[in-house]
Amino acid sequence: MARETITFRTEADKRQALDQLAQALGQDRTATLNQAIDTLLDIYDWQVRHIETGRKQARNGEFVDESVWRKALRRNIS
């Protein structure tokens, strides 16, 4: 896959933290940034897929029974 260069600005403390993390991982800044971008994209992809699944279920009238969600809510609050 072809690589492209991008440039962005960030605060100096974030760059320093990034460099420290890269060093601790034994890799360079670019590898660490690419890993972070991959993780971010995976998370957003997961979220969008689950939101779309929920929207489809809602359109189809597939809702959790009130007694079920109330029981789950009570369990999580206690």
Q: How far apart are the first and last CA of the chain?
A: 50
Residues in the chain where the model's pLDDT stays below 50? none
The answer to whether the CB of 34 falls within 8 A of the CB of 25 is: no
Spatial distance between the Cα atoms of 5 and 70, rounded to a whole number of angstroms = 51
The answer to whether the CB of 55 falls within 8 A of the CB of 69 is: no
Q: What is the pLDDT of residue 78?
A: 59
Q: Answer yes or no: is 73 within a domain.
A: yes
The count of domains in the chain is 1
- Note if the pTM is more than 0.75: no
The answer to whether the CB of 53 falls within 8 A of the CB of 43 is: no
Q: Answer yes or no: is 52 within a domain.
A: yes
Q: Answer yes or no: is 19 within a domain.
A: yes
Q: Answer yes or no: is 4 within a domain.
A: no
Q: Which domain holds residue 46?
A: 12-77
Q: Answer yes or no: is 5 within a domain.
A: no
Q: Answer yes or no: is 26 within a domain.
A: yes
Residue 8 is encoded by which pair of tokens? 């962005």
Spatial distance between the Cα atoms of 36 and 70, rounded to a whole number of angstroms = 37
